[in-house]
Each structure stands twice: as C-alpha cells, then as structure tokens.
Amino acid sequence: MPEKREKFYLTTPIYYTNGLPHIGHTYTTVVADVIRRYKRMRGYDVVMTTGTDEHGVNVERAAKKAGIPESEFVAKMAEAWRALWDELGIPADEFIRTTDLKHVRTVQWLFKLCRENGYVYKGHYTGQYCIYDNAFVNDAKPGDNCPDCGRPLETVTEENYFFKLSSFQKSLLDFYKKNPDFIQPDTRRNEIISFVEGGLKDLSITRTTIRWGIPVPGEEPHVFYVWFDALTAYLSAVGGPEYEKRGYWPADLHLVGKDIIRFHTVYWPAFLMAAMLPVPKQVWAHGWFLMDAAKMSKSKGNVVLPRPIVNMLGMDALRYFLLRDVVFGQDGNFSYDALVTRYNSDLANGLGNLASRTAALIEKNFAGKIPKPGTLKPQDEVLAKEAQAAIGEVLENFDKLSFARALETIWTVIAVADKYLTSEQPWALGNSEAEQSRKATVLWTTAELLRIVSVLSFPVLPDSAAKVWSLLGQSDALGKFELDGLRWGHLVPGTPLGKSQTLFPRVDKTEAIERIEAMANEELNPPKAAPAPAVSAPATTGASAAAAAAPAVSDKIGIEDFAKVEMRVGQIKTAERIVGADKLLKLTVDIGTEIRQICAGIAQYYEPESLIGRKVAVVVNLAPRKLRGVESNGMIVAASVGPEGRPVLTGFHEEVEVGARLK
C-alpha cells in the first residue's frame, strides 16, 4: 500500500466530436476504467480523464451541414459523449472539452512558454493536408491520398508559427533511453525510436485556414493546430498553469490507440520539454478492434455499437469480452459470435454457475450461513494454494496491463473449483457428523474461492463481482477493498448469505445476435423522418444520442430531401435463407444497372421460392451494411402491417421496367 495515497493520473484520448462512440472508443475508455478501479484497490488516489476534441475543420463543416453554430454543435455532441459514458458506467473523473475556458488558457500559456524559450518562429508552409486527420502529410505529392485514411489530400499554403521540433531529436532519444518504459509496448517503442532517429522536421502549430480553433493571442487570424490544442487537454484537466497545486501532473499513463502514438510520444513530450514542464511517465498504445479485418467506419457499414450489446448482455459482458479476447496492445477482430460464445461459456456457465451452485448448496445444507470448515484434505489444500498463487499472478498481470492473462488466471481457478465441486459431490453426502463436516469444508472452500475471485475480477466486472460479493454476505464496498490485504482464508464462518441474484442468464446465441443487430440497426438508422444525425464523420456511429445531438427539424421534409432517397424497381433473381438467422433472406436483385445482394427481414412471411421473378421497390442508395455477417447493399421496401409489423412487399399492378425510378 503506497504511503499517503500516492497519486495516479491516467487519460484516454479526447475523442472527436464529429462522431459518437463505437466499440473502439469504448475499448479505450473501458481499459482506463479498469486501471482506475484496480489502482484504487491498490491504494492510489486516482484521477482518470477523458473528454472531447472539439476544434478543427471537420467540426466547422459538420456544424455548417447541421445549420447551427459550431459552439452549439460541439456542446450537443460533448453532452452525448458524456451521457453515453455515464450510461455505460465509465464516467471520467475529469471530462475536459477543448472549448472549456480553462483549456483555452492552458493552450495559450503553453504556447507562450514555448515561444519565450525560443522554440517558436514564424514561417510559411505549403503541404498536402488531410482535413479528416487534421494533419499535414510529409512527403506527399499533390493528388495523393492520405496514407492513414485513404481520402484525398488538399494542397494548403499558410503562414504559420512553427515549433522547433528538430531541436528535440537528441533530448527525445535521451529521454527514451533513460525511460525505457515510456513507450509501450516495446514494438511501438522501437518504431518511434527509428522515426526520431530518422530526423525531425519543424512542425507548424498554428493555422490561418481554419476559423474554428483556439486563437493565438494577439496573432489573429492564427488559431492553434488541433494537435497542439488537443494534447494540452491532459494538462488543462488537472490544473493547467496551476498543475502543481493539484499534484497530478505529470500523467502516469496516457492510453492511446496505435494510430496516434507519434503525437503522444514525439510531439507532446517535445512541447512539454520546450516549455520546461514535466513529461508524462508512460504512453501505452493499444491495437484496434477490427470488423472483418477492417477498421470500423460508418461508410463501410461495419461499425459496432456498445449500447445494443449492453442492453442484451450487460456492460460487464462487454467489458469482459473486450479485455479477455484480445491481448492488450495487439489488434483484435470483433465478432458477435465470439462475444456471445464467451458470455455463455465463461460468464453464464463459468462464474455465474459456480456462484449460484455454491450459494444454493449452502442455503440448503447450512440454512444460508457460511459453514465452518472441518479437517482439511489434501485436495482442499491444493485448491487453497492455487487460489493464493492466483492472487499474486493476477496482480502482476494487472500491473503489466496484461488483462487477458489476468482474466485467464482467474478463470482457470474457477474451472478448478468447478471440477473440485464435481468430484467432491457435496450434494451426495449424508447427514452424519463426518459427512456434514466434509460438506462444510467443501462448501466453505468453494465460497472462499469465490470471494477471492470476486475481489480479483472487480476491476473488470464491477457489477457482477459486487453481486457475488454480497451474495457471500460481504457488506463493505468491494471497490474499496485493499488488494494488498487479499489472502486465502478470511471468509468468516457463520456469515449469512446475501440475497441470491441472477448473474448471467444463458442466452440463445442466434437469438441474441439477431437482437443485438436489430438494436444496432435501429440506432444507426433511426426510424422517423429526419434526424440523419448531424454528423458526417469518419469512423463514427449514429446512435440515438446522435439523434439527440441533431438540431431540431420540422416533421415535414422538402422535396429535395425526398429526392435524396433513390428508389428503383428491382426484380428478385434468387432468394435463400441464411443459416442462423431465422428472420433474414438473402436476395439477389436486378436493379437495372447491376445485380445487388440485399438482405431482407421477411423470412418468416415469404418462402424464398415464391419471390423469384417478383418486382419490388428497392432503396438503392443506402450505405451497405452487414446483417449477420452478410453484406446487404440496398433495402427492399415493404409495408409494416399489424402490431407484429408483418412485412408486406410492395408490388406493381401494371408492367414496369426493371430499374425505373420511383418518384
């Protein structure tokens, strides 16, 4: 236990406000929350920061599209982000917005320090600029596409203030050498070291082509380059110029995705060194969650949203999956199938089942009170040893941010306990004194193991671990338990069990996936005329929060809005069922100019064969999306009839040409 509550400050990136969170963003914030809970249980005084990155040309454009001022646009979006983190139970201790006055002042102050120390000069810059990533792309030629996002670059010439990044090559390399843990994992560290060894060019840190940014005092129309602005948010969140008063700076840990490691490990420490401010202790770059091996983006239709998963399986299930399935630092593929499989095997059949079995046996045999163990047999001692050893191993892995390993260890112990119960068969023992005593020993041992498991799994499964904890009759707040004092053997006999609660009800995989996908579709394509979310973002989600963030619109739409929907007469060529999806049919449809694959939720009402040759109305300019892993490129129009919403396909009573437009 650190003396006098040592401080620990960690951050997530601050997220762009031209979109809303998908599973990738949720991942970073969940990891931060797990570390926060873990560090608190190790006795630290922890502050975790997240927030929103609200300046730049993308926001300028999105606000214009929404027809509202930028300030109003970002206020709504920031609120939507904050609200979702609250809803998911992962709110920040400090939520910083880059439009907050305290942040604006901190950025201006940092610039002043860098300038006073001789690291800022005025110059001109012409370069290829990616407006989506807010970055000039070194070495790109006019007409090139952005190497990161693939979109076209724009040629931009500006009068800028430059930061003398080139002066920091040696200091940075020395710093990396002296602080070998600064960049994690090691592969990223090597990557950055060779980048810096290759030479650093000065960096333009102000813009005159953008209006929506923090003004450079006395130098209007210069505004700060978004990364100079955004990185500083970490410092503004904990006091800015008065950071010493609060005592959380330098940050102990910046969690970032691998895409933004250079900003955090080269530019950020250089800015701070130039201002003679302390440099953060560690930057940890994790990998990406991919969908079908590609980065998620709304335009690709492969975005995974957190809310539908949480509604179906609970937040703990999502947290568990994110941390268990992928080694922290590496890329991982997201699949609903893997998610639900893990849920059923590890949570419902694993932890949930062990807890309910144990509690039911104690209830039945010991009137709901933790029994007093009798003489131990070797197998009881083996189990105790395994659990005790797991404590050290799990803590060590949490310290290294090896979450998957930590969880693996906990679940190995759960499996051992399951086997132990099965072979000891306490339910088969009779009522003689010896048998009662044996029963008590076995059930105390299993309950004690569950107590250890609930403490160790709390950072990842805060709700469920707390349920197990109170089921075992423990009344103190589990989040305040001091991990350093966790030892085998502390479960007090005689403690009455708490109320039994269902932890993880088993789900039918196919049905669960269908429901998650249906909820996600609804969130991404909200019904009702209008709120096309006020968002034109890369890698974003719509979400009902986006609808909330959208400006108020009238219920009536103009003809120009209707004209946006391109509907054509299509003819169904083939139709087949999709294995594992009761409601969907996979169709190929001739729309005049091409044959499209379209999934339609009509399988319960139409036999596939009856559809061949039928002419239907098709929305042809809908972004493609995946339904149960099958690409759907368009939508068949149907009436929704009766309370159950039975689909009735549109038809034509006169001869119509395939491909004719509906107007």
Note the residues at the interface with ligand MSP (CB under 6 A): 13-16, 24-25, 27-28, 53, 230-231, 233, 256-257, 259-260, 288-289, 295-296, 539
216, two tokens? 């450079």
Rounded to a whole number of angstroms, the minimum distance from the CB of residue 53 to ligand MSP is 4
Rounded to a whole number of angstroms, the minimum distance from the CB of residue 542 to ligand MSP is 15
Q: Give the nearer residue to ligand MSP in terms of CB position, either 27 or 243.
A: 27
What angle do the packed helices 315-324 and 23-41 form, to 10 degrees?
A: 90
Q: Give the nearer residue to ligand MSP in terms of CB position, either 16 or 161.
A: 16
Rounded to a whole number of angstroms, the minimum distance from the CB of residue 285 to ligand MSP is 8
Q: Give the nearer residue to ligand MSP in terms of CB position, either 281 or 509.
A: 281
- For 362-424, give the secondary structure using H, E and C: HHHHHCCECCCCCCCCHHHHHHHHHHHHHHHHHHHHHHCCCHHHHHHHHHHHHHHHHHHHHHH
Rounded to a whole number of angstroms, the minimum distance from the CB of residue 289 to ligand MSP is 4
Q: Give the nearer residue to ligand MSP in terms of CB position, either 318 or 472.
A: 318
Helix, strand, or coil here: 605? coil
Q: Give the nearer residue to ligand MSP in terms of CB position, either 108 or 454.
A: 108
Rounded to a whole number of angstroms, the minimum distance from the CB of residue 131 to ligand MSP is 14
Rounded to a whole number of angstroms, the minimum distance from the CB of residue 260 to ligand MSP is 5
Q: Residue ranges of the alpha helices (H) in 525-635? A: 543-549, 559-562, 608-611
Rounded to a whole number of angstroms, the minimum distance from the CB of residue 283 to ligand MSP is 11
Residue with token string 């953060």: 280
Query: Phi and psi at residue 162, in whole multiples of 5°?
Result: -105, 145
Rounded to a whole number of angstroms, the minimum distance from the CB of residue 494 to ligand MSP is 48
Q: Give the nearer residue to ligand MSP in terms of CB position, either 228 or 469.
A: 228
355, two tokens? 């807890």
Residue type at 234 in one-letter notation: Y
The radius of gyration of the chain's CA atoms, rounded to the nearest angstrom, is 29
- ∠ CA 387-500-493 to the nearest 5 degrees? 50
Question: Which residues contact residue 310 at a Cβ distance below 8 angstroms, ignoring those fewer than 6 apart?
Answer: 88, 318
For residues 660 and 199, what is the distance between their CA atoms, to the nearest angstrom? 59
25, two tokens? 């963003």
Q: Give the nearer residue to ligand MSP in terms of CB position, either 259 or 418.
A: 259
Q: Give the nearer residue to ligand MSP in terms of CB position, either 14 or 486.
A: 14
Q: Are 268 and 114 in contact (CB under 8 A)?
A: no
564, two tokens? 């946006």
Q: Give the nearer residue to ligand MSP in terms of CB position, either 228 or 366.
A: 228
Q: Of 237, 216, 82, 242, nearest to 159 (Cα)?
A: 216
For residues 507 and 133, what is the distance between their CA atoms, to the nearest angstrom? 41
| Residue 157 burial (CB count, 10 A) | 12
Q: Does residue 2 have a cis peptide bond before it, meaning omega lies within 30 degrees of 0?
A: no
Rounded to a whole number of angstroms, the minimum distance from the CB of residue 60 to ligand MSP is 15
Rounded to a whole number of angstroms, the minimum distance from the CB of residue 268 to ligand MSP is 8
For residues 595 and 609, what is the distance between their CA atoms, to the nearest angstrom? 18
Rounded to a whole number of angstroms, the minimum distance from the CB of residue 148 to ligand MSP is 10
Rounded to a whole number of angstroms, the minimum distance from the CB of residue 114 to ligand MSP is 17
Q: Give the nearer residue to ligand MSP in terms of CB position, either 24 or 426.
A: 24
Rounded to a whole number of angstroms, the minimum distance from the CB of residue 15 to ligand MSP is 4
Q: Give the nearer residue to ligand MSP in terms of CB position, either 256 or 447.
A: 256
Q: Of 85, 22, 63, nearest to 541 (Cα)?
A: 22
Which residue in the shown chain puts its C-beta closest to ligand MSP?
A: 24
412, two tokens? 């190995």
Q: Give the nearer residue to ligand MSP in terms of CB position, either 336 or 411.
A: 336
- ∠ CA 231-543-226 to the nearest 5 degrees? 20
Q: Give the nearer residue to ligand MSP in terms of CB position, either 260 or 519.
A: 260
Rounded to a whole number of angstroms, the minimum distance from the CB of residue 496 to ligand MSP is 44
Q: Give the nearer residue to ligand MSP in terms of CB position, either 120 or 303.
A: 303
Tell how strand 45-53 and strand 7-16 pair up.
Answer: parallel
Q: Give the nearer residue to ligand MSP in terms of CB position, either 300 or 614.
A: 300
Q: Does residue 250 have a cis peptide bond before it, meaning omega lies within 30 degrees of 0?
A: yes
Q: Residue ranges of the alpha helices (H) in 54-168? A: 57-66, 70-87, 101-116
For residues 525 and 544, what is the distance between their CA atoms, to the nearest angstrom? 9
For residues 253 and 35, what is the distance between their CA atoms, to the nearest angstrom? 10
Q: Are 331 and 288 in contact (CB under 8 A)?
A: yes
Q: Give the nearer residue to ligand MSP in terms of CB position, either 87 or 331.
A: 331
Q: Where are the beta strands (DSSP E) in 187-237?
A: 203-204, 206-207, 223-224
Edge to edge, the sheet with strand 120-130 lists: 135-136, 120-130, 154-163, 203-204
| Residue 510 burial (CB count, 10 A) | 15
Rounded to a whole number of angstroms, the minimum distance from the CB of residue 620 to ligand MSP is 29
Exposure string of 121-154, with b = 16+ CB inside 10 Å and e = fewer, is: eeeebebbbbbbbbbbbeebeeeeebeeeeeebe
Q: Give the nearer residue to ligand MSP in terms of CB position, either 27 or 504.
A: 27
Sign of the Cα torsion 167, 173, 179, 183 reads positive
For residues 359 and 541, what is the distance between their CA atoms, to the nearest angstrom? 42
Rounded to a whole number of angstroms, the minimum distance from the CB of residue 522 to ligand MSP is 22
Rounded to a whole number of angstroms, the minimum distance from the CB of residue 18 to ligand MSP is 9
Q: Of 74, 82, 358, nearest to 214 (Cα)?
A: 74
